[in-house]
Amino acid sequence: MIALFDADILIFRCGFAAERNIWFLSVPADAEPEQFSYKKEALARLDELVENQRSRVEGKDYKLWSERYLEPLENALGNVKATVRALQEDLGVTDYDSKFFLSGKNNFRYDVAVTRPYKGNRDTDHRPSYEEDIRDFIKRTWDTTVSDGEEADDLLGILQCRLGPFDSVIVTADKDLNMIPGLKCNIISGEKYLMGDDEAMSWFYTQLLTGDSTDNIPGLPKVGKVKAQRLLDGKSLEEQWSAVVNEYMSRGPEDWEAYLKEQGQLLWIRRETGQMWEPDLSEVSNWEDSSSASLF
């Protein structure tokens, strides 16, 4: 068994665990500040202190700010090592049969995205203070590969498909990797489960309909998880693909074929080196009357 670690998750989880924001509120602005663990607590207190005041001016009626407190770097690195060791012990693997994957700076999806910037909704400032230190630690400590032109997810998907679904386990908290058939282990809870071939493809079809708000991939308007399940549940893979195409024809833009291709290439996690997802629309004229087409 080879354990394939999504090291991006380790960086963010263990990095943020070693820091916290403390919120301060002064009412009025020059008063002695009160301290809060969360911004919502500070805002609730502000409402209490100026309960009957319709408008309030920051800098005069109140002052609200946060300060970041960091634990020593050694705490963050120790947390990474402890997390990995616990998972390795649970999976029955060692450093010898563990591989780690980090995302590099380049990613083909940034060029594919034309409808919305890929991951354009993310706060670029909301990153762990020790991010680079943890990256360096992971690369020094374990067998680590940094992606080039793609994401760590793609490397994980390619290697699991190459090794086989039962000879490898992907250790991650990213549900996108459920579209890769094989064993998975949740890096946070330790839960282990198997994604079968059909189940993995159905996961991808669901995302084609719903999109992925985390990565700023819109999918189809007014199609959420409930509607997607209703469209796909109980159908064969061929019927599911037909349902997806029909939804794009009816709900997508005028150039729905190009839009479908864009969404799929953004969502699809590679199973082979250099793979780019291509929709099979060879029988597009028959979609509304037939579900005989398949993805490949």
Q: What is the average pLDDT score of the chain?
A: 92
Residue 60 banded pLDDT, cuts 50, 70, 90:
confident
* 165 & 89 share domain: yes
Residues 87 and 177 occupy one common structural domain: yes
**52 found inside a domain:** no
Q: Is residue 59 part of a domain?
A: no
Residues 239 and 118 in one domain: no
CATH of the domain at 187: 3.40.50.1010
Q: Are residues 10 and 149 located together in one domain of the fold?
A: yes
**pLDDT higher than 90, residue 243:** yes
Looking at the domain assignment, is residue 34 inside a domain? Answer: no
Whether 163 and 204 share a structural domain: no
pLDDT at 126: 83
Domain count, the chain: 2
Q: Are residues 85 and 132 in the same domain?
A: yes
Determine the structural domain holding residue 116 and report its residue range.
Answer: 2-14+73-195
What percentage of the chain carries pLDDT values higher than 90? 84
Q: What is the pLDDT of residues 119-178, one digit of tens each?
A: 998 887 789 999 999 999 999 999 999 999 999 999 999 999 999 989 999 999 999 999
Average pLDDT for 107-126: 91
Answer yes or no: do 98 and 191 share one domain: yes
Looking at 195, 210, 232, which one is the last position of a domain? 195
Confidence check: pLDDT of 293 > 70: no
Place 49 in a pLDDT band, splitting at 50, 70 and 90.
confident
pTM across the whole model = 0.85
Same domain, 102 and 171: yes
DSSP the chain: -EEEEEHHHHHHHHHHHTEEEEEEEESSTTSPPEEESSHHHHHHHHHHHTTT-S---BTTTBEEEEEEEE--HHHHHHHHHHHHHHHHHHHT--STTEEEEE--S--THHHH--SS-TTTTS-TT-S-TTHHHHHHHHHHHS-EEE-SSS-HHHHHHHHHHHH-TTSEEEEES-GGGGGS-EEEEETTT--EEEE-HHHHHHHHHHHHHH-BGGGTB--STT--HHHHHHHHTT--HHHHHHHHHHHHHHHS-TTHHHHHHHHHHHHPPPSSTT-------TTGGGTTT-------
219, 188: one domain: no
